[in-house]
Amino acid sequence: MYDDILIPTDGSEGTRGAIEHGIDLATKYGATLHTLYVVNTNVTVETTSAQTLAALEEIGQEAIDEVTQQAEAADVETIEGTVAQGVPHHAILDYVDENDVDLVVMGTHGRTGLDRYLLGSVTEKVVRLSEVPVVTVPMLSESES
């Protein structure tokens, strides 16, 4: 049913449940697991030095490595990891198109009200604009950790 599954990650604890869910689906379907970290250049491109961008990409690579290690431990056979730059939801949707991804698995932070309005939601934008199914996984509570 699914050949290519994408788990976008920002390296936060909020993505842990989505990572676990995505790895489980990749294992179940024998799918290639893709993981993507996006350095948000929407707010930083004009004020960010090359050194800062390199540091952000390093953080992204660490987040990708963490997902890769978890997937390898679960015996996922094929894993692709990418660090990209751009507006996060655009970069995620572009990755989906360019890599024939069948399913996106994303975490939600559970923001509501003014926080959601002011900060926006990458997950919400991907859900609204994606041409492939998007599974959203709520952030795990501390008791579920």
Tokens at 53, concatenated? 């961008």
Tokens at 97, concatenated? 């198109």
Q: pLDDT above 70 covers what percent of the chain?
A: 84
Domain boundaries, the chain: 4-140
Is the pLDDT confidence value at 44 over 50?
no
- pTM listed for this prediction: 0.88
**Residue 10 near residue 39 (C-beta atoms within 8 A):** no
Q: How confident is the model at residue 50 (pLDDT cuts 50, 70, 90)?
A: confident
Residue 51 CB-density burial (10 A; 0-12 exposed, 13-18 middle, 19+ buried): exposed
Identify the CATH assignment for 4-140 out of 3.20.10.10, 3.40.50.620, 3.90.1140.10, 1.10.3720.10: 3.40.50.620
pLDDT digits 0-9 by tens, 92-103: 999 999 999 999
User: Which strands, in side-by-side order, build the sheet including 32-40?
Assistant: 79-86, 32-40, 4-8, 103-108, 134-138
Query: What is the mean predicted confidence (pLDDT) over 69-87?
Result: 96
**Residue 99 near residue 6 (C-beta atoms within 8 A):** yes
Q: How confident is the model at residue 139 (pLDDT cuts 50, 70, 90)?
A: confident
CB atoms within 10 A of CB 86: 16
pLDDT digits 0-9 by tens, 18-32: 999 999 999 999 999
Return d(Cα 45, Cα 53) in angstroms, integer.
Answer: 9
4, 19, 47, 101 from 105: Cα distances, Å: 11, 8, 31, 11
Question: How many angstroms from the chain centroid is the CA of residue 43?
Answer: 19
What secondary structure letter does DSSP report for 132? S
Which residue reads 């948000």 in tokens?
40
Tokens at 18, concatenated? 């989505």
Q: Does residue 72 or residue 109 have the better pLDDT?
A: 72
pLDDT digits 0-9 by tens, 101-113: 999 999 987 555 5
